[in-house]
Chain A
């Protein structure tokens, strides 16, 4: 059974204070690891897909990295508008491209001005 654990559950940062969110996963074979952002009252919004260890993706102040057992979402010089819940999910290699994602519980990030 695929498992995803995110830490910390909640993180408070000051504007400009860089940090990282962690996603540890257990999967028989990784087809893809996904990061999403979720704002209150809305559905998750896709950020990145990572496929293999060593891969990195960047978008504005966010950079996602992947190892064989975990992924990190690095936030550089965050701004208040980066406040959201960040979700990590894995897709098992045993399925098709549309096969199910298993999600972690998320990290709630608050960036204070």
Chain B
């Protein structure tokens, strides 16, 4: 099984502070994704990566940036956290044709 770890699992932060969430995979899968999940909206794509230093925006990318300097790590940064970014964040990897994604366990972020 593809190993995928998100950290931290929970975080409370103040409005206006920067926050970085980490996603780590133990295999060399090329594609990695960041989603947020909110009631009434489901899972929405924030950013994704198709290789080291290769990233692109999803449908809700405003206020977020990403970096991928190594195959195994994909970082999501909230430059200046706002209350609207309170959400559960999931990282996912594409593990091969026909298998969809494997998801991490999520990070619950609360911005106060």
Answer whether A42 and B106 are a contact pair too, CB < 8 Å, given A98-B50, A100-B33, A106-B42.
yes
Out of A41, A43, A100, A104, which one reaches B42, CB within 8 Å? A104
Partner of A103, one of B43, B94, B96: B43
A46 contacts B102, C-beta separation under 8 Å: yes
Contact B102 A105 (CB under 8 A): no
With A and B bound together, what is the CA distance between A32 and B100 in angstroms? 9
Please count how many residues in chain A sit with their CB below 8 Å of the partner chain's CB atoms: 24
Chain B residues with CB under 8 A of A44: 43, 90, 101, 103
Chain B residues near A (Cβ < 8 Å): 30-31, 33, 35, 40-45, 48, 50, 58, 90, 92, 94, 96-106
8 A-B pairs besides A34-B100, A101-B101, A105-B41 with CB distance below 8 A are A43-B92, A43-B103, A43-B104, A45-B103, A49-B99, A51-B98, A97-B94, A101-B100
